[in-house]
Structure 1
Amino acid sequence: MESKVSEGGLNVTLTIRLLMHGKEVGSIIGKKGETVKKMREESGARINISEGNCPERIVTITGPTDAIFKAFAMIAYKFEEDIINSMSNSTATSKPPVTLRLVVPASQCGSLIGKGGSKIKEIRESTGAQVQVAGDMLPNSTERAVTISGTPDAIIQCVKQICVVMLESPPKGATIPYRPKPASTPVIFAGGQAYTIQGQYAIPHPDQLTKLHQLAMQQTPFPPLGQTTPAFPGLDASPPASTHELTIPNDLIGCIIGRQGTKINEIRQMSGAQIKIANATEGSSERQITITGTPANISLAQYLINARLTSEVTGMGAL
């Protein structure tokens, strides 16, 4: 967070950085950028969103303090609206709180926590918001995530108090800002289609995921998991199935399978392909994966598997 005080100390310009997931960013941007445009116009703050082929994006809000508070209020109320909308489609009865994540230079986190946690306790009690400062710095940076959750009003009060602390104790030394890493290469071509990766999903580029997914599901000669295979799959009108084999190091197979098979099932459902993982063989450091389906299914399954591997390896910081 930077602060610039003009002569007389009245016009205080602040920069606050927020860390958001792709879905949250989509909500803030809105259709054709209408929501973020409205937020910029009504708050008077500058709102910039980092480039996006990353699972996480940085939203930077700059302006005089009152403009920043207005922008924060609009974001908090937008997130609450999203929660209410998502609840109308679910059976949940209790409304989850709105949650925002600030990115704050680690050198300022001490002032925010206060001696023996006194400052953060005071902020929690006076605003009613939950505030948590991450113990570790964000990867390759000198910044930490500060998570605020509560009602929109509590969040706005909380942000105001945090801003006061930030202004009173500017960052010490150079700050290395956190830059979310792309989950993988920006665009990859597979099966005649270009994809980008967001989180662990391959997103056709531009947005044709639904079409591609429907196409893959129509073409697959295999029924959904749990049903029996037709007695004469050869009579099926779908394109012929082909098989592709991959070998994956044993120590990375876990990230493909996921907890209780969640990731591999996700990949099966998204790609429409059948995926079999061979049991570990003694003396071998690799496991064989067999993918069966149409060329479109296989391309998508391979792509999703590679995306999982890439995010696992970059997450570990190893090559």
Structure 2
Amino acid sequence: MESPESHITSTTANTTTTDEVTQKQTSVPVKSSSISDDKERPTYIKFLVSNAAAGSVIGKGGSTVTDFQSQSGARIQLSRNNEFFPGTSDRIIMISGDFGEVTNAIELILSKLLSEIHFEDGDDAEPISKVRLIVPNSCCGGIIGKGGSTIKSFIEESQAGIKISPQDHTYVGLNDRLVTVTGTLEEQMRAIDLVFSKLLEDAHYAHSMNTPFSYAGINLSGYHGYSYGYMVPTVGAVPYNSVNYRPNGSRARYHNNKEDPSDSVTIGVADEHVGIVLGRGGRNIMEINQVSGARIKISDRGDFIADTHDRKVTITGTKSAICAAENMIKQKVASVTDRESLGKAEI
């Protein structure tokens, strides 16, 4: 995107020479001043967190979020515990303030969530996780750049994995996309700083600051097949501009031909990933059942889809409930496969 400063012309008297005009037009301090002004203006960023992570961010009686607001100077808002980003079971966090306040608040939140992952894993290695930023569709072109040049440079500079989803036409009225940043806290913060700085240059982003915080008015337009993603993985993996159609661990699927409101779909989940779908004490699958409204049954050990090592996961319910449950299962599996692929890339 061409910056507004490139259109600035001299308004001095007619006696101003061509050299003087050229010097004023190409003056570096003008651009630097504008960038500084952009970072001092009120702005915002939105990203997703799970219900469990949202509780951790809020803290007992709101103590943690109050402390984070005090430390950063930013305002931190969360969607209600039953208000999710369309197609997910994740809540929305919106942070507002100037550039420095917003990035400070993000770092406080991510640092806390990563420290809890580190504690649960009991691993000495620096934890790797992902954060999904919500970005207006109209702003994604600037992040990608011509031929993917901008996002490629962001990946190389930050060493984080960056993935931009396509616009999701499954939900009528949804004009946002997800930018997934994967890596250590330091890598994530470098990537977020680069992406956020780019967004500040886009007038569309500033105008979207006052759009509704909730996605309650977004409607499911119909049941579609596998979701797919424009994936920009970490450096050293597949080419940065490749389109990724992999189902994130979910493979074969079968439909019945019933016309009644209750339908049934069977998908395959790799045997080694069934544990993450179930969760400790069945916590994850209970959450998926409750949030989606679908009924989920996982085949017994050794009961695989033919010619695979994938367990059968049968989802029963309305088409919208099935779609929601399937998306949630894919996200659970993707959280493991992303970390596995990053681990292999580092070896």
TM-score scaled by structure 1?
A: 0.55
Distance 1:134 1:125 in 2: 19
Query: Which amino acid in structure 1 is aligned with residue 130 of structure 2?
Result: T
Give the alignment partner of residue 112 of structure 1, picking from 143, 148, 152: 143
Is the Cα–Cα contact under 8 Å of residues 142 and 177 in structure 1 kept in the other structure? no
Distance 1:149 1:124 in 2: 10
- 1:42-53, aligned counterparts within 5 Å? 42-53=71-82
2:103 matches 1:72: no
Distance 2:116 2:282 in 1: 25
Secondary structure of the equivalent of 1:171?
helix
Please tell me whether Structure 1 or Structure 2 has the larger radius of gyration of its CA atoms.
1
Q: 1:315 to 1:12 in 2, by over 3 A?
A: farther
* Alpha-carbon displacement from aligned partner over 1:14-62 (angstroms, at most 9, x marks no partner): 1111122212212211222221111111000000001112432110000
Q: 1:113 to 1:177 in 2, by over 3 A?
A: farther
Instruction: Look up the match of 1:35.
Output: 64
Is the Cα–Cα contact under 8 Å of residues 133 and 147 in structure 1 kept in the other structure? yes
Give the alignment partner of residue 14 of structure 1, picking from 40, 43, 61: 43
2:265 matches 1:254: yes
Is the Cα–Cα contact under 8 Å of residues 134 and 176 in structure 2 kept in the other structure? yes
* Alpha-carbon displacement from aligned partner over 1:272-296 (angstroms, at most 9, x marks no partner): xxxxxxxxxxxxxxxxxxxxxxxxx
Instruction: Look up the match of 2:163.
Output: 132
Is the Cα–Cα contact under 8 Å of residues 17 and 58 in structure 1 kept in the other structure? yes
Where in structure 1 do 4 or more consecutive aligned residues deviate above 4 Å?
Answer: 92-96, 172-182, 248-251, 257-263, 302-307, 309-312, 314-317
2:177 matches 1:170: no
How far apart are residue 110 of structure 1 and its match? 0.4
Distance 1:180 1:311 in 2: 21
Distance 2:130 2:105 in 1: 15
Distance 2:127 2:144 in 1: 25
How far apart are residue 65 of structure 1 and its match? 0.7
Is the Cα–Cα contact under 8 Å of residues 141 and 178 in structure 1 kept in the other structure? no
How far apart are residue 251 of structure 1 and its match? 6.3
How far apart are residue 305 of structure 1 and its match? 9.5
Instruction: Look up the match of 1:62.
Output: 96
- 1:167-316, aligned counterparts within 5 Å? 167-171=200-204, 179-180=214-215, 252-254=263-265, 306-308=293-295, 313-314=320-321, 316=323
Gaps of at least 5 residues in structure 2 are 1-33, 84-88, 218-258, 284-288, 296-315, 325-347
Query: Which amino acid in structure 2 is aligned with residue 45 of structure 1?
Result: A
How far apart are residue 169 of structure 1 and its match? 1.7
Secondary structure of the equivalent of 1:51?
coil
Q: Which has the higher strand share?
A: 1
Distance 2:261 2:38 in 1: 60
Q: 1:303 to 1:98 in 2, by over 3 A?
A: closer
Query: Which amino acid in structure 2 is aligned with residue 76 of structure 1?
Result: L
Q: 1:305 to 1:72 in 2, by over 3 A?
A: closer
2:182 matches 1:158: no
2:133 matches 1:122: no
Distance 1:169 1:306 in 2: 39
Instruction: Look up the match of 2:27.
Output: none
2:181 matches 1:148: yes
Distance 1:125 1:307 in 2: 42
Q: 1:311 to 1:145 in 2, by over 3 A?
A: farther
Query: Which amino acid in structure 2 is aligned with residue 74 of structure 1?
Result: L
TM-score scaled by structure 2?
A: 0.51
Q: 1:305 to 1:258 in 2, by over 3 A?
A: farther
Is the Cα–Cα contact under 8 Å of residues 17 and 60 in structure 1 kept in the other structure? yes
Distance 1:141 1:78 in 2: 30
Q: 1:303 to 1:158 in 2, by over 3 A?
A: closer
Q: Aligned-residue CA RMSD in angstroms?
A: 4.1
Aligned length: 211
Q: 1:313 to 1:84 in 2, by over 3 A?
A: same
